[in-house]
Amino acid sequence: MDYRDRHVVVTGGTGALGAAVVSALLEKGAVCHVPVMDKAEAKRFAQRGHDRVRLVEVATLADEGEVARFYAGVTHLWASIHIAGGFAMQPLAETGKTALMAQLEMNLVSAFLCCAAAVRAMKGAGGRIVNVAARPALEPRLGAGMTAYTVSKAGVAALTGALGQEVAADGILVNAVAPSILDTPANRAAMPTADHALWPKVEEVAATILFLASPRNKVTRGAVVPVYGTA
């Protein structure tokens, strides 16, 4: 998977999974463009000083103008990987419209707008788009107690399938991964008694994302790939 001189957007690139994706891309020679909304997280980002990392401050990825401004600064875009999002655990009866819209904006709207900007940038040249859904998007019963999150991620899965068909003739292959609970420090702290050995590692999920976003992927499109580990 040779990414030399290929420009790749990674939203959520300073988070646990995003950082693993960026590190793997850099090893393969990519130039990584990472929108930054959390300045504190960006300061902790191990690759912030790398000469092929471009960190760009954005207010939100749920605003068309902000997304357009960010993508306008990326030349020769090859791949756009959309990891940015948010999670909320809350019963439906306690979830108001504000909380629902927050999940939709963080997860679905951000992916939708970034997909649209990426498609415009890739027109005529082809490229790859990879979204991040979640296991409850494919198995909704697992979303009990976090319905707003589940609905937003199910939207990401549907977006991937529809867009994958829409832009295939333009040489743009659109796919997604659907992780189960990732093995991250935050998740371990939140669930200290769980069997962490069963959870997929961020580096393992990153490897799947890298293949889907790479020139080696010539045929897979519209797929939502389960990356569950052994959980």
Active site residues: 149
**How many Cα atoms occupy the beta-carbon half-sphere of 41 within 13 Å?**
16
Tell which phi-psi region holds residue 182, choosing left (phi > 0), alpha (psi between -120 and 50) or beta. beta
Distance CA 176, CA 128 (A): 11
- The total of other beta-carbon atoms located within 10 Å of residue 62's CB is 21
Do the beta carbons of residue 205 and residue 182 sit within 8 Å? yes
Distance CA 27, CA 7 (A): 13
Distance CA 15, CA 203 (A): 13
